């Protein structure tokens, strides 16, 4: 009897967690917006690598510039697979005054800062949910340089927290690329 009650309780909590994440799909999809001078991000972009896909999104010009400055564009053109957590231009403009300029002038710090946004492995929405379910609501993923990012669900949204305590929310999922996935986030990690 106790086993049956525990199994039912576990199934209900897993179902609730999955429903909360699936409900997040109604959020604004910032990665797929374009202007007249950029191409639309579609399933066709799955033939492009992460950097080439990102370079075609108007809201990602700051991130693209930072990646080039850091010399990480070759890495994001590599075999992967990677999951890029892509903050848009608005996220960068919300940084404290002078923070971005300071990072752009110090390549070593810029590389560490940007690598906090690149997860080793391809984690689409389904894979992220699977990690959260396995971790009973929390999961830890590693970036390409070994930093740990903690995933959790807050207010029915997927939240990602870095080792310094900075938390961002995923705003768009699963922009396909030949070497991974791009997920949009509403903030910048490693800012404390």
**Predicted local confidence at residue 159, as pLDDT:** 94
- Per-residue pLDDT band at 155 (split at 50, 70, 90): confident
- pLDDT by residue (tens digit) across 66-82? 999 999 999 999 888 99
| 10-17 long-range contacts, CB within 8 A, separation 24+ | 13/136, 13/137, 14/133, 17/129, 17/132, 17/133, 17/137, 17/153
Q: Which domains does the chain have, with CATH numbers?
A: 2-185 (2.30.180.10)
- pLDDT by residue (tens digit) across 5-36? 334 344 444 444 444 444 443 334 433 333 32
- pLDDT by residue (tens digit) across 85-131? 999 999 999 998 889 999 999 999 999 999 999 999 999 999 999 99
**Predicted local confidence at residue 101, as pLDDT:** 92
């Amino acid at each position: 009897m106790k086993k049956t009650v525990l199994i039912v309780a576990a199934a209900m909590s897993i179902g609730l967690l999955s429903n909360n994440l699936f409900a997040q799909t109604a959020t604004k999809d910032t990665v797929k917006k374009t202007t007249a001078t950029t191409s639309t991000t579609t399933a066709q972009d799955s033939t492009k690598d992460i950097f080439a896909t990102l370079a075609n999104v108007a809201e990602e010009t700051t991130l693209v510039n930072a990646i080039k400055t850091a010399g990480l564009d070759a890495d994001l053109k590599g075999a992967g697979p990677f999951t890029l957590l892509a903050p848009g231009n608005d996220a960068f403009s919300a940084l404290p005054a002078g923070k971005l300029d300071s990072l752009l002038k110090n390549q070593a710090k810029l590389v560490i800062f940007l690598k906090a946004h690149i997860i080793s492995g391809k984690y689409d929405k389904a894979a992220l949910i699977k990690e959260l379910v396995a971790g009973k609501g929390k999961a830890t993923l590693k970036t390409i340089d070994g930093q740990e990012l903690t995933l959790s669900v807050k207010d029915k949204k997927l939240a990602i927290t870095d080792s310094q305590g900075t938390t961002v929310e995923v705003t768009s999922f699963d922009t396909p690329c030949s070497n991974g996935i791009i997920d949009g986030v509403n903030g910048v990690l490693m800012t404390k």
